[in-house]
């Protein structure tokens, strides 16, 4: 490979990503779910012209998401598991999230780094909020399931900034005696109530509406979870938040902090480093933080560091105990 090779490969990344978003939106992977097809059949199933479906399908072959045998196309194992629907690993909501929010916002990355974000995600219409929240839930399904299988949640869990309730749902399914409270903004809390009811857990998971930075937190819990919250705020705001959570629990309570925790140089894991761009284009203060930074915040707000454990993908969990 020439010196230019790695650079050109990186520059082509956006083309591959946009082809994936388009193929998902157009239903290419669903059309091939368990039913391989040639271009004429695939065009009929998707409603596309033969030329259009060939361009899209061949691009997905090139990036490894479709396989082609002669004139017949079929989903790759990854596409069948994550893009065709009907499995617990369904990433289609995150693809929609990326297409609706991330892709347009990232065109302004340089401007955001120079002047701050042009548009912050603060108040979304109901349809956009649903797409946003379902996308975040899909991205975190793996880490949530792994945490649920391995972590101690105590008897009463306070899930602060808990989104659609997916982390609490996973924990409640894995721990039948657990009761949880999801604390979220009003527009997201309604999504959480519906998702919790769909899983038959309305009797075990409560939903309380409120802003985690300004409202009083519910009390009476022996474990607290902050998943994908810390990266939304500045170091100063995170220090205030951790102090606030500490004040809401008794000594000995446990805190689980799930996020893109990095090495001291903020370059590993690489996915976490790149996600800092996501926060830069969408918020004024969001960032990725290192394990060392988190330990410093905890020590200054009444928490004792207990452990740091890797989860699925680039996420990891810090466990702390209230002093």
Q: What are the pLDDT digits (tens) for 281-312? A: 988 899 999 999 999 999 999 999 999 999 98
CATH 3.40.640.10 fits 104-322, yes or no: no
Beta bridge partners of 180: 157, 205
Average pLDDT of span 174-181: 97
Read off the pTM.
Answer: 0.93
Residue 122 pLDDT grade (very low, low, confident, very high; cuts 50, 70, 90): low
How high is the pLDDT of residue 312?
A: 86
Hey, is 18 helix, strand or coil? helix
- pLDDT of 228 strictly over 90: yes
The residue with tokens 């205030």 is 240
Mean pLDDT, the chain, rounded, equals 95
How high is the pLDDT of residue 125?
A: 87
Q: Do domains 5-85 and 104-322 have the same CATH topology?
A: no
Residue 88 pLDDT grade (very low, low, confident, very high; cuts 50, 70, 90): confident
Return the percentage of the chain with pLDDT > 70, whole number: 98
Return the percentage of the chain with pLDDT > 90, whole number: 93
How high is the pLDDT of residue 1?
A: 67
* Beta pairing class for 223-227 and 156-160: parallel
The residue with tokens 């995600």 is 121
Identify the weakest region by mean pLDDT among 36-40, 75-79, 112-116: 112-116
Angle at alpha carbon of residue 155, lines to 305 and 252, rounded to 5°: 30
Residue 118 pLDDT grade (very low, low, confident, very high; cuts 50, 70, 90): confident
- Domain ranges within the chain, ordered by starting residue: 5-85, 104-322
Q: Right CATH number for 5-85 from 1.10.10.10, 1.10.10.60, 3.40.50.11750, 3.10.20.30? A: 1.10.10.10
């Amino acid at each position: 490979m020439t010196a230019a090779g790695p650079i050109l490969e990186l520059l082509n990344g956006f083309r591959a990503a946009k082809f994936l978003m388009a193929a998902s939106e157009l239903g290419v992977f669903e059309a091939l779910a368990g039913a391989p097809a040639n271009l004429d059949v695939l065009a009929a199933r998707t409603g596309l012209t033969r030329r259009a479906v060939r361009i899209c399908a061949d691009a997905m072959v090139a990036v490894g998401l479709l396989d082609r045998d002669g004139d017949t196309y079929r989903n790759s194992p990854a596409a069948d598991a994550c893009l065709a629907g009907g499995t617990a690993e369904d990433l289609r909501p995150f693809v929609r999230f990326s297409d609706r929010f991330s892709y347009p916002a990232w065109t302004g990355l340089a401007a955001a780094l120079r002047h701050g974000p042009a548009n912050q995600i603060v108040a979304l219409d109901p349809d956009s909020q649903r797409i946003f929240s379902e996308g975040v839930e899909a991205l975190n399904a793996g880490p949530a399931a792994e945490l649920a299988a391995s972590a101690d949640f105590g008897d009463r869990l306070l899930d602060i900034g808990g989104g659609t309730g997916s982390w609490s749902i996973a924990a409640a399914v894995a721990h039948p005696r657990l009761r949880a409270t999801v604390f979220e903004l009003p527009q997201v809390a309604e999504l959480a109530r519906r998702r919790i009811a769909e899983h038959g857990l309305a009797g075990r998971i409560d939903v309380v509406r409120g802003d985690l930075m300004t409202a009083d937190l519910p009390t009476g819990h022996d474990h607290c979870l902050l998943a994908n919250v810390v990266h939304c705020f500045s170091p100063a705001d995170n220090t205030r938040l951790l102090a606030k959570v500490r004040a809401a629990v008794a000594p000995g309570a446990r805190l689980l902090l799930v996020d893109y925790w990095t090495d001291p140089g903020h370059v590993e894991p690489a996915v976490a480093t790149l996600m800092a761009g996501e926060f830069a284009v969408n918020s004024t203060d969001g960032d990725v933080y290192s394990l060392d930074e988190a330990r410093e915040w905890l020590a200054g707000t009444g928490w004792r560091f207990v452990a740091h454990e890797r989860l699925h993908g680039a996420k990891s969990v810090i466990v702390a105990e209230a002093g």
